[in-house]
Structure 1
Amino acid sequence: MKKILIVDDEEDMIWSLQKNLNHESLKVDIITASSGEEALKILAANPVDLIITDIKMPGISGLELLVEVKNRYPKTGVIVMTAYPSPEYKNEALAKGGLHYIEKPFDINELRKIIKRVLKETSLFKGTVAGVELSDIIQLNCLSKTTTALAVNTADHEGIIYFDKGDIVHAACNGRVGEEAFYTILCFEGGTLETRKHANPPPRTINQHSEALLMEGARRMDEAKAGGALTAGEVDSWDFDGAITPEKPLTSINSEKTEPSTASPKEAQMVSTKEEQMGNLQELLTEFTNIPGVNTACLVGRDGFLLDSVTIAGTDAETIGAIASSGFGASESMGNQLGKGMLTMTMIEYENGPVMLAPVGGEAFLVIVADKNSNLGMIRLKIKKHAGDIATTASI
């Protein structure tokens, strides 16, 4: 039987909760404590699944108790309640790891529903996921449209990212909040993850779309690995071949003569063959966009760079490729972790239509974006039929 610890310095509140939560729909064992100190003593001898605590109490406050519980018993859920509601309390409670923040007086039936959800999660599968990038986990939360909090901790730092129905709405890290906190967390190298499902998000501090956030985060990570972003002075000092610099004025660039081609017949033939291959690749991708409802067919490298595409309706294929690489990597990792073998095809279905991903050769994958009324069977058939041809044509 699941155990719940109720912590409140008001005897009437403890009595009321104990009476109303001893309900046949919950089937829980309820323990009570009148202070934070007493609660910690109980926890040391008798671990519980969920704590419901008031904020304002003599001695150790509910927020201080929350911090101690998360440090000592990280798997124990905590619901914070208060008769003195304020945005500051709510933000602090959720940032410190509280699953829910409820204001007195509250609907006991609503509290029962929250408790059921929290206790149900303690019965789900748990484990360690290795070989997966943090960006992949974030992308999965976005794609699954979940409302959750993702706590990310390293030896020196801790951060938390909140999702509301798949949207990234808030992040906090090292005193920062919002987008800068999100980018800081994304640059963590290693650490531990904890998902706090159904955690109520604080007020929104992030308004960027999740895809834009991940792309900007990837750019910052690349810059960090390369030694940091360039200053304006460093950019001005670059001297590209044919670029405008103080040492190479515009007139000298325009006056440069184009040297005649000195390519050998063999090199010229290689260029011609490459152009022919790209033409054939376009024809193969067009096989997909000829299917009614399919508006984009992209061949994307595993690094997220677009290799080739055929699109209609002005779709930004490069952006699709960059975004899809995270989803493709996450799908492969999931299959490996579950022992399902190699990925052959995956489909992510959205309200306005599906996105289908399929590996092509060892270094690329196919992205098909379609409308909701498209013929999925025909798309699958084309993928199976042409994946090998695309790999051969693109030499991958």
Structure 2
Amino acid sequence: MLRKVLLVDDDPILLTALEAGLSSFHHSFEVITANDGFEAVKILEEIAVSLIVIDLVMVRMDGISLLQHVREHYPDISVIIISAMETKKMQELVSGDDIAGYLSKPFDINSLGRMILTPLESEARDGIMHNITPAVFLQLMEMDAKTCTIRILDKMSQKGGILYFLDGILLDVRIGRQTGIEAAYTLFTWDEVTIFIKNTCVPRANNINSGLQPIIMKAAGMKDESLVPVCAREDTADTSREPASPVLKKLSQYCEDSLLPIPNRATTALEQMIKMGADYGFGSFRGGYLKNDGKNDRVIAVEKQPLMLTVKSSTEKKEIDAIIFDLGKKQK
């Protein structure tokens, strides 16, 4: 998944030329554009941006005002300043560690492309990892007492976040305008991400004040609620819920009363088993018992969609087997 670079200029002809000229760098970053500072502010709220190219002189919300907004809300984003002014004049107007470079108009587009690559490469100088689960990887950062800044891009939502670790302690998280513990909860609901690692962290306040395990557990609960809003209990007072199916009613005698989300990888495996049964004449796959030495055993039943529940410790496996077997007979 590529990082995104935002170009902000009120000259539409220049924006078009820059977008076309920077297409030669399409393997390294993706370009998005904004016609003025106000449009850029809206984009930053919705899209994960790694670097911004800002024209200082614009009719609506000039570059200096936009830069102040970025520094207040997105201090981790690097900025390149462009203007018809001389470089020295630009440096007098704006300076700071977040400024990755200055270019006076007119300039060579390839020079801008190379200038963009420098902070992006610096951000990922200590490694890039693709298609991993953030909870597993970030717990390793905590265990190894790592000091680093990590940018994360989520494949599913196309959103992005940034995390700050100091000696294995997660200090802060940002996703768009969301920061702190709430941003951490959101980030840990993501399943498949790309990670860019930089083994430095700018000193900052601890806005998390929690180890990773409680955050991961809370995020798992949030994911449960968003994926499976229907409860197996018959005596619920919430009449807006769908009625429990007969097989779910039977399972509820032997299982905990809340459905569990089925991980993406498990869903893929189930689909393959269902397909294999149909392709090779084995019959329909209707369910199974996931054994874990009596601790948090799981049962999966396939009706209109797969359902997963936690088996009560007092339940014997044969009681679950009978329900699944009965479900298979009824579906023939």
**TM-based fold match above 0.5:** no
Bigger radius of gyration: 1
TM-score by length of 1: 0.33
